């Protein structure tokens, strides 16, 4: 079932016009080059991977004023306005032409509808124009494959934490199985919404600013801690702290920095706990943190302490790869393409809900 979004047709025509200009001479190459398009939330990125080498990875972020979140329609509008520029940058930085690309990968889901469609349209158009096969990639798997590529972790327990997702994943028998997850909202969503309540700037991201403020916090405010088996829950702590923010800040019982500090200490402890449980369950000795919230150095620090106590290794990437980016889609696309996957045009729809364990991971044993 395919929804039509406004301006789709006009936009397609516009792309055709611009992309026509990118046709050029061919360069002989025996290696596999995949271009990846990502725009499931407020970041729009295009990245190019050649056999495990990141050739380019430009990105733009749609940033809203403090106190506001990003809405699907406006996010899509932002992506439309910059995607072709970013595409051109990706090709220029990689020093490649359209003919050098072997496969066009894009985010099939999960994510927000309108932005996903915007990006999918460009990917489809470009694939058809350049005569290259198309590949719809699962966003979560993009994060995992990029994490594996960059860190060279062999078989880690993966903590995937972002604004839209919070999952503990382990690979087993051709699936990335979800061992634990949030039963309501993602941890990044909890942090972002809290940032709105205390009107923290969304530039470069609310989570980053919470992290900086938390460093200055000194007083620990007791907050609800909710772990249920291997799962976590954040909606309780969010409503509690939203309430506490109004009460305590107005009576100067604590500073916003104290709240940021307390929130981080609590939610990150919950995440480390469920990761540790999964590790104990699977007998794993490696942890890989991926997703935007994975940039947070305090989270990395806490996870590092837990790993050290167990004699396990921690792997994490920097913000160019933690935060949504095109190259991660290209990398997952590369793995899929090399193991024979292709997405037919008729199957190249997008979906807002796409479970990590729905994909058959044929590129690993």
Partner 1 sequence: MAHSDSVKASVPSYLKEAQMIKQGAEARVYRGKFLGRSVIIKERFPKLYRHPEVDEKLTRRRTTQEVRSILRCRRAGINAPVVYFVDYTTHCIFLEDIIHSVTVKDHIASAQASEQNPQDLQTLADKIGETLAQMHDEDVIHGDLTTSNMLLVSGAEDQNMKLVLIDFGLSYISALPEDKGVDLYVLEKAFLSTHPKTETLFERLLKSYTASSKKSPAVIKKLDEVRLRGRKRSMVG
User: Cα separation of 65 and 85, whole Å?
Assistant: 24
- Asked whether position 349 contacts partner 1 by CB under 8 A, the answer is no
Tokens of 325: 């980016």
Tokens of 23: 């046709």
Place of tokens 């007083």: 219
Element of type H or E holding 212: helix 206-215
Q: Check the annotation: does 180 bind a ligand.
A: no
Q: Using an 8 Å Cβ cutoff, are 43 and 325 in contact?
A: yes
* CB of 136 vs partner 1, minimal distance in Å: 15
Count of positions on this chain that bind partner 1 (CB under 8 A): 53
Q: Which one among 105, 144, 186, 200 touches partner 1, defined by CB under 8 A?
A: 186
Which DSSP symbol is given to 253? S
Other Cβ atoms less than 10 A from the Cβ of 200: the count is 22
Q: Check the annotation: does 142 bind a ligand.
A: no
Instruction: Compose the 63-102 pattern: x for residues touching partner 1 by CB under 8 A, - for all others.
Output: ----------------------------------------
- Asked whether position 45 contacts partner 1 by CB under 8 A, the answer is no
Element of type H or E holding 37: strand 33-38
User: Cα separation of 111 and 113, whole Å?
Assistant: 6
Q: Check the annotation: does 143 bind a ligand.
A: yes
Q: Check the annotation: does 163 bind a ligand.
A: yes
Q: What would the DSSP string read from start to end of 44-67? A: EEEEEEETTEEEE--EEE--PPTT
User: Cα separation of 213 and 194, whole Å?
Assistant: 13
User: Which CB sits closer to partner 1, 151 or 157?
Assistant: 157
* CB of 111 vs partner 1, minimal distance in Å: 5
Residues at the interface with partner 1 (CB under 8 A): 40-42, 109-112, 139-140, 162-165, 177-179, 181, 183-184, 186, 188-189, 220, 222, 225, 227-231, 265-266, 269, 272-273, 276-277, 279-281, 291-292, 302-306, 309, 324, 352-355
Residues annotated in a binding site for a divalent metal cation: 139, 143, 160, 324
Residues annotated in a binding site: 139, 143, 160-164, 192, 207, 211, 296, 324
Residues annotated in a binding site for substrate: 160-164, 192, 207, 211, 296
């Amino acid at each position: 079932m395919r929804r039509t979004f406004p301006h789709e047709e006009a936009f397609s025509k516009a792309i055709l016009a611009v992309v026509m200009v990118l046709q050029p001479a061919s360069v002989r190459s025996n290696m596999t080059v995949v271009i990846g398009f990502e725009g499931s939330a407020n970041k729009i990125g295009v990245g190019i991977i050649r056999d495990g080498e990141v050739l380019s990875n430009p990105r733009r972020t749609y940033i809203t004023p403090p106190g506001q979140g990003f809405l699907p329609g406006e996010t899509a509008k932002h992506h439309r306005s910059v995607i072709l520029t970013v595409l051109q940058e990706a090709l220029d930085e990689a020093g490649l032409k359209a003919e050098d690309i072997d496969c066009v990968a894009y985010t099939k889901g999960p994510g927000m509808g309108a932005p996903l469609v915007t990006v999918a349209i460009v990917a489809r158009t470009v694939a058809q124009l350049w005569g290259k096969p198309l590949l719809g990639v699962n966003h979560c798997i993009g994060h995992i494959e990029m994490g594996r590529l960059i860190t060279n972790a062999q078989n880690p327990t993966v903590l995937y934490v972002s604004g839209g997702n919070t999952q503990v994943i382990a690979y087993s028998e051709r699936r990335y199985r979800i061992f634990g997850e949030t039963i309501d909202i993602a941890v990044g969503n909890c942090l972002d919404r809290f940032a709105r309540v205390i009107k923290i700037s969304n530039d470069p991201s609310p989570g980053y600013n919470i992290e900086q403020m938390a460093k200055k916090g000194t007083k620990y405010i007791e907050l609800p801690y909710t772990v249920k088996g291997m799962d976590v829950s954040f909606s309780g702590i969010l409503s509690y702290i939203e309430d506490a923010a109004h009460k305590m800040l107005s009576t100067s019982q604590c500073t916003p920095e104290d709240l940021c500090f307390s929130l981080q200490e609590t939610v990150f402890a919950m995440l480390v706990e469920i990761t540790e449980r999964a590790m104990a369950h699977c007998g794993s000795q490696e942890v890989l943190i991926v997703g935007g919230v994975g940039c947070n150095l305090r989270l990395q620090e806490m996870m590092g302490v837990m790993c050290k106590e167990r004699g396990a290794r921690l792997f994490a990437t920097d913000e160019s790869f933690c935060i949504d980016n095109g190259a991660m889609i290209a990398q997952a696309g590369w793995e899929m393409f090399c193991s024979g996957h292709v997405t037919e045009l008729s199957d190249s729809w997008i979906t807002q809900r796409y479970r990590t364990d729905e994909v058959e991971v044929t590129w690993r044993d």
